[in-house]
Structure 1
Amino acid sequence: MLRYSAFSRDPAGGNPAGVVLDARGLDEREMLAVAAEVGFSETAFLVPADGGFDVRFFSPRAEVSFCGHATIASAVAHAERHGAGGLRYRTAAGDVDVVTARDEDGSWRATLTSVPPVVRDLAPQDLDALLAALRWSAQDLDPALPARTAYAGAWHPVVAVRSRQRLADLEHDVAALERLAAARGWTTVDLVWRQDATTFHARNPFPAGGVVEDPATGAAAAALGGYLRAGGHVPLPARLTVLQGEDLGRPSTLHVAVPADPAAGVAVTGAAVAMP
Structure 2
Amino acid sequence: MTAAEVLRYAAFSADPDGGNPAGVVLDAAGLDDGAMLGIAAALGYSETAFLTAPTAAAPPAGAVAEAGRGFTVRYFSPKAEVPFCGHATVAAAVALAERTGAGELVFETRAGTVPVSVTAVEGRLRATLTSVVPHVEEIGAADLAEALAALDWPAADLDPAFPPRIAYAGARHLVLGAGRRARLADLAYDFARLETLMRRLDLTTVQLVHRAGPALFHVRDPFPVGGVVEDPATGAAAAAFGAYARELGLVPADAVLTLHQGEDLGRPGVLTVELRAGDPRVRVSGEGVRIP
Q: TM-score, normalised by structure 2?
A: 0.93
2:163 is aligned with 1:146: yes
The DSSP-based 3-state class of the residue aligned with 2:280 is coil
Which of the residues 258, 283, 290 maps onto 1:241? 258
Residue of structure 1 in register with 2:216 after alignment: 199
What amino acid is the match of 2:209? Answer: V
1:81 match:
99
Distance 1:122 1:7 in 2: 29
- Where does 1:88-167 land on structure 2 (aligned, <5 Å)? 88-104=106-122, 106-167=123-184
Give the ranges of 4+ consecutive aligned residues of structure 1 lying more than 6 Å apart after TM superposition. none
Instruction: Return the alpha-carbon distance in structure 1 between the equivalents of residues 164 and 277 of structure 2.
Output: 22
Cα deviations by residue, 1:57-98 (Å, 9 ceiling, x for unpaired): 000110000000000000000000000000000000000000
Counterpart of 2:234 (choices 192, 195, 217) is: 217
Residue 265 of structure 1 aligns to a residue in which SS? strand
Q: 1:29 aligns with which of 26, 34, 51?
A: 34
RMSD, aligned CA: 0.7
Q: What is the count of residue pairs matched by the alignment?
A: 274
Task: Please give the alpha-carbon distance, in whole angstroms, between the structure 1 residues aligned to 2:159 and 2:219.
Answer: 14
Aligned partner of residue 281 in structure 2, secondary structure? coil
Gaps of 5+ in 1: none
Q: Give the Cα separation in 2 of the matches to 1:116 and 1:32.
A: 27
Quote the residue 1:38 is aligned against: 43
The CA deviation at 1:264 is: 2.1
> Could you tell me which residue of structure 1 aligns to residue 281 of structure 2?
265
The percentage of counterpart residues that share the same residue type is: 59
Q: What SS does the corresponding residue of 1:194 show, helix, strand or coil?
A: strand
Cα distance in 2 between the residues matched to 1:177 and 1:248: 20
Query: How far 1:177 sits from its partner (Å)?
Result: 0.4
Out of 188, 191, 215, the position equivalent to 1:171 is 188
**What's the CA shift for 1:146?**
0.6
1:182 is matched with: 199
Report the Cα distance in structure 2 between the residues aligned to 1:145 and 1:17, rounded to whole angstroms.
30
